Structure 1
Amino acid sequence: MGSPLVYFNSLWPKEHTYSPFEVMVRKEVGDHIRSWRFIVMLLLVLFTFAGAMYVSLTNLGKAVQNVNDPDHVFVYLKLLTTSDNSLPAFHIFISFLGPLLGIALGFDAVNSEKNNGTLVRLLAQPVYRDQLLLAKFYAALLLVGVLFLSLVLLMVGAGLMLTGVPIEAAELFRILAFAVLSVIYVGFWLSLSIGLSVAFRHAATSAITAIGIWLFFTVFYQIVVNMVARAVLPDPASLQAEQVMAYNNILLSFFRVAPSQLYTDAATTLLMPSVRSLGPLTMEQMAGAIPAPLPFRESLMIVWPQVTGLLAASTVCFAGTYFLFMRREIRS
C-alpha cells in the first residue's frame, strides 16, 4: 500500500496545462481588452445602446397601448425596436457599428505581427499556422459574443426593474437569437478584415480597404443596383402586376448580396414576430391572412437563408485567408 501522502497528492487537482491554441487565445483576448481601439468601440456601442434604450423606454407606453400593432404584447422586443425617429432602433445601430467593431478587431491581426518581427518568432514555436489564424479569430469573436450577451442581459434586467413585467420564453429566445445573429454579422467583417491583414503588408492599407468595402455595401451598393436596373430592366410603371412582382424579386435578390441587407432582414424578422415574409406578396397571398405574431420556430425558418448566407460568407472569407496565409512567405 502507498503512503498517505501519495494518496493525498492523488486527490489534489493537478495544474492545468494550456495548449498552444489556448495560450494564444488568452494572449489575444488580453491584447484586445488593453487596446484603446477596443475601449473606444466598446464605449461607442454602450453609448448607442444606452441612447436607444432611453428612447425605447420613453416611448414604451405608447407602443404597448397601440392595439393596432400585433406585436404590442412583446414588451422586451419593443425595447429593441421602438423609436421616436430621433434615434434609430438598436438593431439599426448595430448594422452600422457591427462592421466597424469587426474591422477594428482584425485589420492588423497578422501584418502587425509581421511588421513587429514577432510572427517569425511565434511560428518558430510548435504552433501551426491554422492555429494562429483560428486563435485570432476566436479571441475577437469571443469578446464580441460576451459584449452582446452582456448587453442582452443588461436590457432584460433593466426592463424587469423598470416595468415589472416578466419576460416570456418566446421573447427570450428571439432576443438571444438576435444576439447570435449580431455575433455572426460581426464575425463576417472580422474574417474579412483578418484576410485583408494577410493580403496587405501595412495595417493602414488593410484598414482603409476594409472600410471602403463596408462603405460600398452600406451606402453605394443599392444606388448602383438601382441605376443598373433602370438601365437594363423595363420601367416598372409599364409592367403588369405579375411582372412588377418579378421586378421587385430581382431587385431584392441583388440587394441581399450586401451583408447589411441580410442582417437587417433577419434582425427585423426576429424582433418583430408579425413579419411573415421578407419579399413582396400578392393580394391573393394576403387574402384571409390574420395579423398575428408568428411562433419563434417559423420566424427562424424565414430568416434561415439570411443566417446561412452570413455564415457562408464568413466561411469563404476565412478559407481565403487561410489559403493566402499558408502560401505567404513570413521570413521576408
Structure 2
Amino acid sequence: MENKNWISTPLRILIKKEIASHIRSWRFIILIALIVLTCCASLYVAFSDLRTTINNAQDPDSTFVYLKLLTNSDNSIPPMHVFLNFLAPLLGIALGFDAINSEQNGGTLTRLVSQPIYRDNLLLAKFIAPLCIVSILFASLIMLMIGIGMITMGITLEWQEVIRMIGFLGISIIYVGFWLSLAILLSIIFRQGATSALTAIGIWLFFTVFFPIVVNFVIRPFIPNPNYISESQYLAYHELILNLRRLSPSQLYTDATTSILMPSVRSLGPVSMEQMIGALPTPLSFKDSVMIIWPQLTGITAAMMLCFALAYFLFMRREIRC
C-alpha cells in the first residue's frame, strides 16, 4: 500500500522523541513558566487599562479590542508583543544550543546515525520539534487571551483581528525559528554546550542592546546640524539610521509586529509634514499592512533559512566518530 504521509516514518519518530524530551526537561518548564507569567501580567495590565483605551475617540485602533490586549499598557510593564521580542530569543536559544553537541558528548549521536535514518532527518527533527512546541505555546496564549476577553467583556471577535493574530503568531514563530537555527548552528560548531549557549546569548545581547547604541555612536557625528539642512535631508539621515538598525533581527520583529497589531500604522520610517497633510487616521487592511512589512518578513525568514542551511552544510560534512 502506498504511503501517503508527507513526513517519513524515521523523521516522524525523531520529532516525537524530541518533543517528549523537551517537554520533560526542567529547562523547558522554567522557560514556559517565565513566558506564561510575563504574558499573563501584560494581559492583566492591558485588561485593566482597556476601558480607557476603547473609549478614546482619537485612537483609530480603538475598535480592535483584542489587538489592543497585545499592544496596550499603562507603562508599568511592557505590552505582550514587547515581552515576546525579549523572551522569544531566549526560548529559541534554550531549545537549540545543545541540540547536536549534547548528543555527541553523550555518545548517542553515533548510535542515531548508525540506524537506518538519514542525517538530515535528525537535523530536521531538532528544528521542527521545538517549533511545534513554540507554535502550540503561542497559540494557547492567544486563545487564552481571546477566551478571557469574551468572558469578561462579551465583545465578539472580528475577522480582521483573527487574521492579524494569525499573522502575529506566524511572525513570532519565524522569529523564534531564527534564534533556534542559530543555536543549532552553534551547537554544531562548538563541542561544549556552555560555549554554544554563551555565544548565542552574546549575539542576542549585541543585537538587542548594543547594536542600536553602536549605530547611533557611528552615525550621529556625520549628521549635519538640522538648522542648516532641509527637512528631506534630515529625514534621509534618520532613514539611514533606521535601515542600519534593521540589520538587527529584534528591530525587524518590532517593525513587523507593530504594523500587524496596529492597523493604523502607515509607515515604519520618518514622515515629512507634506506626507502627513491630508492623511486620514483610518486602519489599513491586512494586505496593506503586510505590504508595509514585507521586507522585514523576508529578512527574518532569509536569516532563519541561512542559519539552518549553514547548520545543514556543516552537519552533513562532519565526520562522526565513536
1:329 equivalent in alignment to 2:306: no
Q: Give yes or no for contact 1:81–1:91 (8 Å, CA) kept in 2.
A: yes
* 1:49 counterpart residue number: 39
- What does residue range 8-157 of structure 1 map to in structure 2 within 5 Å? 19-157=9-147
Structure 2 spans left out of the alignment, 5+ residues: 2-6
Which of these residues, 170, 179, 199, is aligned with residue 169 of structure 2? 179
Give the drift of 1:129: 1.3
* 1:13 counterpart residue number: none
Q: Deviations over 1:81-118 (max 9, x none)?
A: 11011110000000000000000000000000000000
Q: Give yes or no for contact 1:152–1:176 (8 Å, CA) kept in 2.
A: no
Which of these residues, 137, 144, 156, is aligned with residue 166 of structure 1? 156
**TM-score, normalisation: structure 1:** 0.93
Give the whole-Å Cα distance in 2 for the aligned partners of 1:25 and 1:238: 61
* 1:215 counterpart residue number: 205
Give the whole-Å Cα distance in 2 for the aligned partners of 1:218 and 1:235: 29
Q: Deviations over 1:280-323 (max 9, x none)?
A: 11222211111111111111111111111100000000011111
Q: Deviations over 1:199-246 (max 9, x none)?
A: 000000000000000000000000000111024444445422111121
Q: Deviations over 1:6-37 (max 9, x none)?
A: xxxx9xxxxxx971101100000000000111
* 1:290 counterpart residue number: 280
**TM-score, normalisation: structure 2:** 0.96
1:310 equivalent in alignment to 2:300: yes
1:248 equivalent in alignment to 2:245: no
Give the whole-Å Cα distance in 1 for the aligned partners of 2:8 and 2:235: 57
Structure 1 spans left out of the alignment, 5+ residues: 1-9, 11-16
Give the whole-Å Cα distance in 2 for the aligned partners of 1:114 and 1:279: 47
CA distance 1:161–1:198, shift in 2 (3 Å): same
Farther-moved stretch of structure 1 (92-101 vs 227-236): 227-236
Q: Give yes or no for contact 1:173–1:296 (8 Å, CA) kept in 2.
A: yes
1:269 equivalent in alignment to 2:251: no
Count of aligned pairs between the two proteins: 317
SS in 2 for 1:293: coil
